[in-house]
Structure 1
């Protein structure tokens, strides 16, 4: 298996491993009942059970009608693809609902990697790759991911630009429709995978890179010589004009998003100023209210004391009056007694 590995980024033990396609056709006999449906899933599962020992990257239905069902199986090694063809081609099996056995034919398929860019009208210069693990491309000397990919793809030709949307903090804050980020994050905001755009200065470098990448999976060799495979989500060619248009739209979206962020920041600033003003006003009102309450409490405490003083003064005056009247009465009584004598 190791002889199939193609060096990609050996500093991190990363290699490209060719995929092998097997075209499988299942010919369908007549159904027992008119109008009875055919279960492609059931047929697919029957075939997979025959290949339990084979590691497949994909096994999907390409076409289906009343006469046959066409499958495409992506096999991880050429030896396994030969095994699949040998064990499936020419066999037959019975299935529920059919009067006769179903026959199978299996042939080696073409991945048609060249179709990834030959259909484009103008010469493309940019490759898009999705589904790359961040962990696999960490630099031990703290180089940026863009620098790492610039070094990797320089092996195919002169690179003019590398763009990784997940490494742009501003785009990560934008809406999905304008950010250019197509991969979802499933780790509570922490990205596990990323996508990359690599632009070459000439068409030759682009062709070399597409030829090397298409029809491959990315694998990492562990210290125990185990291979951890990672299917490249997408390897797509893009035209220069399309890239320029996308970059223009992205820059416009960035400017619009930046303007929205500035407006939101200004609103937050005004809100904070208003909030601080209202807070200071509440504090002033609180101080005034406390002063008034304090004065009111002092008045409430001083009223009984003043009343008591007034009452004591009144009692004192009354006592003086009584004493004066008593003396006057005594004098009058003494004068009366003296006159009678």
Structure 2
């Protein structure tokens, strides 16, 4: 998913969950194609930057929120442009579609075609036909019918508890946000399961191009009506966050219907069993790690003792003299020695 962009005009935003500052904002994008002439002179090229600047100049007093190249070939350059609101889309298309560009140094005229951006979003026909034709689905069972939406590219920070310093998304917040459309039966945020990546081999921690951590989630509704309302509301929309200071940013999210039985009872039991097995393996690894650390500490202590014993051995010439055995001397010698000491 692309990075969040600043929103200057929030007039078209609709409420999703105001208590968490979340809104839905219409996607207001267009595709612009510029046909390129054949380059007859060797070494001569067309500047993509110059073409982009000419397009910006064609919309007069208005401005693109974003304008980027989505594809460039020898025959054409395709751009994706975004504006602040829906009314501007029509105004921009009127200024661009069917018009021409004249570049400096080229005699050929470049023709411009512009159209509203075609949104990639499943239709009711898509999920109805999928579940009707799927041989391994039982539409009487939750998770095996159109009741679960799959969301990708949700910013973690926007779904974190408001009274927490953590930026980790919360399932409780996810429920609070999406229960607007109907009663929720179950939710799942795969990245919150410490064993999920090990079990599946997938990486659920996905960074967007802007460096913000995003996550994917599954939301399952009790009733088909809740699923329908959620899909209808999310169609053609961006997710927008509005802070307490009134400033707003928005990002694109990917929304689809779940076709993998992710929240079916059988899949949930399988993940729970896998998590228990992974937890047991983790405990075994932790036990082995502690045993290895204990063995290493013991070997280190033995090496230290050996080094200490070596360092404290005295050289033979400096050994402590043995104590004198007075019983081995004659009594007269002892008395004479004592008398000599007294007289001195």
TM-score (ref. length: structure 2)? 0.67
The structure with the largest helix share of the pair is 1
> Take 1:175 and 1:186, find their aligned partners in 2: how far apart are those partners?
25
> Take 2:209 and 2:273, find their aligned partners in 1: how far apart are those partners?
28
Residue of structure 2 in register with 1:328 after alignment: none
Equivalent pair of 2:64/2:81 in contact (CA under 8 Å): no
**Cα RMSD over matched residues?**
4.7
Equivalent pair of 1:117/1:237 in contact (CA under 8 Å): no
Question: What is the CA distance between 1:7 and its match in structure 2?
Answer: 0.3
> Take 1:270 and 1:103, find their aligned partners in 2: how far apart are those partners?
73
Structure with the larger RCO, 1 or 2 (CA within 8 Å, 6+ apart): 2
Unaligned runs of 5+ in 2: 1-8, 132-144, 334-344
Equivalent pair of 1:146/1:164 in contact (CA under 8 Å): yes
Residue 247 to residue 19, structure 1, CA distance change in 2 (3 Å) = same
**Residue in structure 2 matching 1:146, options 150, 166, 171:** 171
Equivalent pair of 1:28/1:102 in contact (CA under 8 Å): yes
Equivalent pair of 1:158/1:200 in contact (CA under 8 Å): yes
Count of residues paired in the alignment: 304
The 10-residue stretch of structure 1 (121-130 or 245-254) with the greater mean CA deviation from structure 2: 245-254
**Residue in structure 2 matching 1:61, options 57, 63, 70:** 70
Question: What is the CA distance between 1:265 and its match in structure 2?
Answer: 1.1
Equivalent runs, 1:179-218 vs 2, <5 Å: 180-184=203-207, 192-218=213-239
Residue of structure 1 in register with 2:286 after alignment: 265
Is 2:184 the counterpart of 1:159? yes
> Take 1:185 and 1:94, find their aligned partners in 2: how far apart are those partners?
37
Equivalent runs, 1:286-297 vs 2, <5 Å: 293=313
Residue 26 to residue 281, structure 1, CA distance change in 2 (3 Å) = closer
**Residue in structure 2 matching 1:137, options 155, 159, 172:** 159
Residue 298 to residue 151, structure 1, CA distance change in 2 (3 Å) = same
Find the structure with the greater CA-based Rg. Answer: 1
TM-score (ref. length: structure 1)? 0.67
Residue of structure 2 in register with 1:7 after alignment: 15
